[in-house]
Amino acid sequence: MKTYENYIAGAWQPSSSGETCESIHPATGHPVARTQSSTPQDVERAVAAARSAFESTDWPNTSNLRSRALSAWADAIEQHKEALARLLSEENGKPIREARIEIASAIDALRYNSIMARNVFGRTFHPTPDAYGFLVREPIGVVAVITPWNWPVLLLMRDLAPCLAAGNVAIVKPAERTGAITAALFELAAELGLFPPGVLQLVTGKGRVVGDALVESPDVDMVAFTGSTEVGQGIMAKASRGIKKVALELGGKSPNVVFADSHLERAVSTACRSVFMTSGQICMAGSRLLVEASVYEDALALAKSYAESLRVGMPLDESTEMGPVISETQLQTILSFIEEGRRRGRIITGGRRLTQPPYDRGNFIEPTVIADVPVNCSVVQEEIFGPVLVVERFTSEEEAVRLANATRYGLVAGIWTQDLNRAFRVARRLQAGTVWLNGYNRNYAEAESGGYKMSGLGRSRGIEGLYEFTELKHIHLTLDV
């Protein structure tokens, strides 16, 4: 079993604690790899190296260097994509086919931002005959990138690639459960020799130790975090003490709103796919299916059929469509939500832990569909982060909008109808950062995403995602005329 070290100041080194932590295969309970259990002292060394790199290397001011480094990293990942996908599948538990999709999406994010590194533009204006204004975009400085375990490769690159492209230096703190796949990516970057020491660093360990030390360090200028709303609130509170910039993508409880004139089978199957992928452990999961009353029972039947047809299995099996959830703790949390749904509504299908071989050593649960629960029920209001679809009924466009907006979240949403006037009308009224019409979970490196309400702050991807990692400075010139 491989032990990965921290990457600080251009060198691999163990934590000052001398301790490691294990990532566990969610399907078998076996250890996959070891990473460092780091200390605040390790964070201090990384921050000092980052500050030195930002102030003394050419990285912030040489766009073609940044472009070449990101492009070369994408090429290296491409060359090792199958081995990386297998490690991701073993450490995270997602099906190997999904792991390959994630690796490919991360490569795309790197390639897009390798181009954008040479397109960090400002603008000028000429307000009076003797004056010129120059609005210049500059890198922020030292950025802490704190990543989750559910899509650890894509969500790393979604923030890290534009962070580096804009000229910043970065310290990455991955989730404990997926430190190995993150370190494997860093090994490829280190071999390139294109990132000056201190520009790109990795410190693994517990969030309450490493994450807190990064957020509270006076020499960290920005924190980019993807994860739960509750942890994001804590990061925002700590960062506020230093008036530190934050970019947060947090939880979601996203609706698919299905009108009677839609292609119902396509709408329901797409919604089900979105909530059962990654075993529901994805912030953009379409975990709520809002269906017009006249086709409600038909939609329930389709959802039941889809859930019962899914092949739940071992992650490296090519035929597996849904794997285990990440941990025993997460599984028990999901089951507690299901019991609440059972008490206040009805279980259409699923709802049980899978315990027979080969599931007996892992964290497997049946794909679950719940219906007829009131809007104030926890399964409607809270992010379950598991393979649980909640189906709700509406009778009018007004009610559909009210129900869709009835949670504290506002990350993404889907609308299904053949009436494009209604589609755009409803889309404008939904409180969500992304609204898909007659589709779902269609994400692109060049299209911004982010949340309303308790789903976060700022935008990732696209031009705005790049500019999220810049400061805008006004330089004014007065001429002698």
Mean pLDDT by 10 residues, the chain (481 residues): 97 97 96 98 98 98 98 98 98 98 98 97 95 97 98 98 98 97 98 98 97 98 97 97 96 98 98 97 97 98 98 97 97 98 97 96 97 97 98 98 98 98 98 98 95 97 97 96 80
pLDDT at 481: 80
Q: In the chain, where are the structural domains located? A: 6-250+455-475, 255-444
Pairing of strands 142-146, 222-226: parallel
Query: Which helix (H) or strand (E) is 64 found in, with range?
Result: helix 63-79
- Overall pTM surpassing 0.85 (yes/no): yes
Q: Is 6-250+455-475 a CATH 3.40.50.300 domain?
A: no
22 in catalytic set: no
Please state, in angstroms and rounded to a whole number, the distance separating the CA atoms of residues 201 and 303: 45
Please state, in angstroms and rounded to a whole number, the distance separating the CA atoms of residues 34 and 31: 8
Q: Do domains 6-250+455-475 and 255-444 have the same CATH topology?
A: no
pLDDT at 467: 97
Query: DSSP state, 12?
Result: E
pLDDT at 245: 97
Query: Which helix (H) or strand (E) is 136 found in, with range?
Result: strand 131-139
E strands, 151-271, in order: 169-173, 200-202, 222-226, 245-249, 255-258
Spell out the residues 6+ positions from residue 351 whose beta carbon is closer than 8 angstroms to its own.
338, 341, 342, 366, 368, 370
Q: Which CATH superfamily is domain 255-444 in?
A: Aldehyde Dehydrogenase; Chain A, domain 2 (3.40.309.10)
What's the token pair of residue 328? Answer: 């025993």
Nearest to 43 by CA among 227, 226, 223: 223
Query: DSSP state, 460?
Result: B
Query: Which helix (H) or strand (E) is 47 found in, with range?
Result: helix 40-56
Q: Are 88 and 94 in contact (CB under 8 A)?
A: yes
| CA distances (Å), origin 318, targets 312, 313, 330 | 11, 9, 25
β-strand partners of 388: 368
Query: DSSP state, 418?
Result: S
Catalytic site residue from 91, 249, 383, 448:
249
